Structure 1
Amino acid sequence: MDLTNNSIENILVEFFKSTDFEKIAKIQSLWSGYGEIARYRFTSPKLVQKFGIRQFIVKHISPPRQVCHPRGWSTSVSHQRKVDSYQVEVNFYKTFAERCDDQCLVPSFIGEHRFIENGNPCQLILMSDLDDQGFPIRATNLTVQQTKLCLRWLAHFHAKFIHSSSDHKHNGLWEVGSYWHLATRLEEWQAMPSSQLKESATNIDKALNNCKYKTIIHGDAKVANFCFTPDFTDVAAVDFQYVGSGTGVKDLIYLLGSCLSETDCKNNFTLLVNDYFDCLTYALGLYQPKLTANLVVKEWQGLVDLAWADFERFLVGWAPDHKKRNQFSQMITSRALASI
């Protein structure tokens, strides 16, 4: 049935069997106007004790009737990808989030609810609030040392969920993790001008997808999706809409391109890539002692440039004037193409 404008509060009252909560603030709108994320808090000690948290996040997914994409990609393919991504996120929180420890911390799943609002299918996702758990700081760029924090998180996350390609079960996640992978971005590929990168896109995609050692990758590991302690000594991550199977270096290159200036990338790329693999080796020893870490590292090291070129391919079609398409990015892409 259709619900009133007060539907979210009504649903939460039913979910918690209580009215002892309040909305603190809207945090942000979802991409392309697909809803909002808001912060709530419990107003009774009983609920705080029951759920073990004082504050919680409500992600309200409400697809608009008229989609307005910031870069004009308002197609049925784009819409379905976003709708699917929210269910993938729920599946991750339900099945995988509880396996993440303090070295790759994520929000705790509280619950979900589907409903009809103004004739549209909508969804609520409830999770713990990382701000209240000691991670209130967000950043738009990072120092090299701060970047290493995120690399440590990625390495532990990847090591936690690594598997060989022969024993992988997707369990409701994307078959190929990352929001830019080729099979879901054919419109953007078609928009590319003729080039060696366009012609090589399929081969790059196959090399990344056919690697022996796969893990669950975050899929959107940009700096905005990491939450830091005030002293930048620890980090957690959010936003698991594009989590799925793949090589961990897809997250690695996407993070570095999102948080560092072109100069910092140029001067520290090799250093940071090596730091990631050092962390990965340690984390594999911690979580996967029966696995030969050197074999994983050797395979993934050979995919770093290809992963970078794969994202560059997406940008060329999606936003050719994007600031990430700098000389350093094109240099890595050229190096990848020369290796094919």
Structure 2
Amino acid sequence: MVTAAKRPPPNWQRLLAGGGSGGGGGGGGADGDAPPPPLLRIEERPLARLWAGYGSIKELIVTQPPAPGGSGGGGGGGGGGVRRLVAKSVDPPRGKAGDAGHQRKLRSYAVEAEFYRECAPRLAALAASLGLDPRRPAASDRAAAASDAASDPFSWCWTPEAYVIEAEPPDHFLFVMSDLRQQFPQQPHSYDLEEAKLALEWLASFHAAWWEEEQPEGLWEDGCYWHLATRQEELQQIGGTWGELRRAAAPVDEALRGGSGGGGRGGGGGGGRFVTLCHGDAKSANFMFSSDGRAAAAYDYQYCGSGYGTKDVAYLLISSADEDTLREHEGALLDHYHAALTARLARLGKAEAARAFTRRVLGVHYDLALVDFCRFMAGWGFWGAAGYAKARCREVLGRLPAALAAAAAAAEGRPL
């Protein structure tokens, strides 16, 4: 019998005044070590339930005396003495210890804790080094005179700032974070062309930040929630009409891991040719946009880990772009991501990596990433731009040996 775990409600006064027992992790503000003023009132409002009954998400409206000088403190927005925060509480159901999906979910929350401890502060520090300010994302993300956002290196990958991180695996996780809605109030779900481009710019910034670098411990060795090693049940569910896709699963997975040649990651989790951090669940439900459509932020890092960034790109476009837009503008969208990524790589001092990652390499990686995600959907159920995905998958499968050979050549630095 599966039952929900029972825990006493969080003591918000203690947590927000003194930090979480699992170790806090702010975004690197100058006042990050100073405790906030005494809290006067904390109001909770339910926002959502987590997938499969694993917990809840709440809004916390924290009323406190104004900080010295009139500032309300970092991350919450809302002037005066009010901060708006988001609390994600994970209390998994009991009685599922032998279930592979349950174990995958438990690991995912531990990964998210590591992301907010290690990665989010590093991204905030990198943004600060570039002169970017999360409190003014629209002003700093895109120069008003810029006509092509892909050439602008200042559209950044904003993330929530974590004030409390409690991690007591496997039974309990709690995150208290800044409320992105204060600065990024828009959340469209079926992207038009410009919305898809903005989300791709976020991915380009995120991928550039971690491109070919050793990545923090504690994340997934293979990012993205559908990676083959954790989806054997879905692989076995693939029907006869997709038999060719089932047979392609292992070689495509190997190619997306860098192959057996010189591009693999080895055991170190990152640093290989073209390897970066993947968000891992880069769909429209996890992105938010500024009101003027010039800046984006993202949350939900449960499946963050190493891999080719095109896995995020293929998933974003299939899951979130309007299907007609995707059919008509696939090439333009990939061009936009490539231009945005290479511009950011150059801005971050990775010009050689930018030159190596040609548009042709991107195309090869995208084709294989699309097939990889279709492999998961063929066993789990198709959704999003399903017609586009199925047609493109069958087209790539028809020339799969050439695509795999091209990926191997790119991974080893040979010309395509």
User: Which residue of 241, 249, 252 corresponds with 1:204?
Assistant: 252
Q: 1:38 aligns with which of 54, 58, 61?
A: 58
8 Å Cα contact 1:21-1:40 kept in structure 2: no
- The 3-state SS of whatever aligns with 2:373 is helix
1:96 is paired with a residue of what secondary structure? helix
In structure 1, the residue matched to 2:191 is 142
The reply on whether 1:213 has 2:274 as its aligned counterpart is yes
Say what the alpha-carbon RMSD is for the aligned residues: 2.5
Residue 131 of structure 1 aligns to a residue in which SS?
Answer: helix
Residue type matched to 2:228 in 1?
L
Q: Which amino acid aligns with 1:29?
A: R
Q: CA deviation at 1:5?
A: 4.1
SS at match of 2:166: strand
Q: Aligned partners of 1:13, 1:248: CA distance in 2, in Å?
A: 35
Unmatched 5+ residue regions in structure 1?
A: 68-73
Contact 1:170–1:245 under 8 Å retained in 2: no
2:318/2:385 contact within 8 Å kept: no
Structure-1 residue corresponding to 2:371:
309
C-alpha offsets along residues 194-253 of structure 1, whole Å, 9 cap, x if unaligned?
Answer: 410000100000000115210001010001110111232221111111010011101111
- What is the number of equivalent residue pairs in this alignment? 324
My pick for the range that moved more, 58-67 or 169-178, is: 58-67
Aligned CA distance change for structure 1 residues 50 and 278 (closer, same or farther; 3 Å): closer
Deviation at 1:3, TM superposition (A): 8.0
Would you say the 8 A contact 2:281–2:300 is kept in 1? Answer: yes
1:310 partner letter = D
**Alignment check: 8 A CA contact 1:104 1:156 kept:** yes
2:395 corresponds to which of 329, 335, 338: 335
8 Å CA contact 1:248, 1:300 repeated in 2: no
Higher mean C-alpha displacement, 121-130 vs 149-158: 121-130
How far apart are the structure 2 equivalents of 1:11 and 1:114? 16
Distance 2:302 2:11 in 1: 21
Alignment TM-score, normalising by the size of structure 1: 0.87
Partner amino acid, structure 2, of 1:334:
R
CA distance change for structure 1 residues 200 and 136 in 2, over 3 Å: closer, same or farther? same
**Distance (whole Å) between structure 2 residues aligned to residue 288 and residue 75 of structure 1:** 46
Counterpart in the other structure of 1:70: none
Taking the TM superposition and a 5 Å limit, the aligned residue runs for 1:291-310 are 291-297=352-358, 298-310=360-372
Contact 1:312 1:325 in 2 (8 A): no
SS of corresponding position for 1:293? helix
**Rounded Cα–Cα distance in structure 2 between residues aligned with 1:82 and 1:33:** 11
Q: Match for 2:105: what amino acid?
A: K
Match of 1:185 in 2: 231
The equivalent residue for 1:55 is 84
| Contact 1:35-1:61 at 8 Å conserved across structures | yes
TM-superposed CA distance for 1:4, in Å, is 6.1
Give the corresponding residue for 1:236. 297
User: Structure 1: how far apart are the matches of 2:122 and 2:215?
Assistant: 16
Report the counterpart of residue 122 of structure 1 in structure 2.
172
Q: CA deviation at 1:287?
A: 1.2
Counterpart Cα distance in 1 of 2:390 and 2:6: 51
Q: Distance in 1 between matches of 2:250 and 2:8?
A: 47
Separation in 2 of the partners of 1:11 and 1:76?
A: 35
Letter in 2 for 1:45: P
1:296 CA displacement:
1.9
Alignment-derived partner of residue 98 in structure 1: 121
In the TM superposition, residue 257 of structure 1 has moved relative to its aligned partner by 1.1
Give the corresponding residue for 2:42. 22
**1:49 shift after superposition:** 4.3
The question of whether the paired residues in 1 share the 8 Å contact of 2:215 and 2:277 is answered with no
Q: 2 CA distance for matches of 1:77 and 1:310?
A: 20
**Normalised by the size of structure 2, how large is the TM-score?**
0.72
Q: Give me the identity figure in percent.
A: 33
2:157 and 2:332 map into 1 onto residues whose CA distance is: 22
Amino acid at match of 1:252: V
| Aligned counterparts of 2:217 and 2:195: Cα–Cα separation in 1 | 33
2:52 maps to amino acid: S
Question: Aligned letter for 1:157?
Answer: F
Counterpart contact for 1:135–1:236, Cα < 8 Å: yes
- CA 1:4/1:201 → structure 2, altered by over 3 Å: closer, same or farther? closer
Amino acid at match of 1:175: E
C-alpha distance in 1 between matches for 2:218 and 2:378: 30
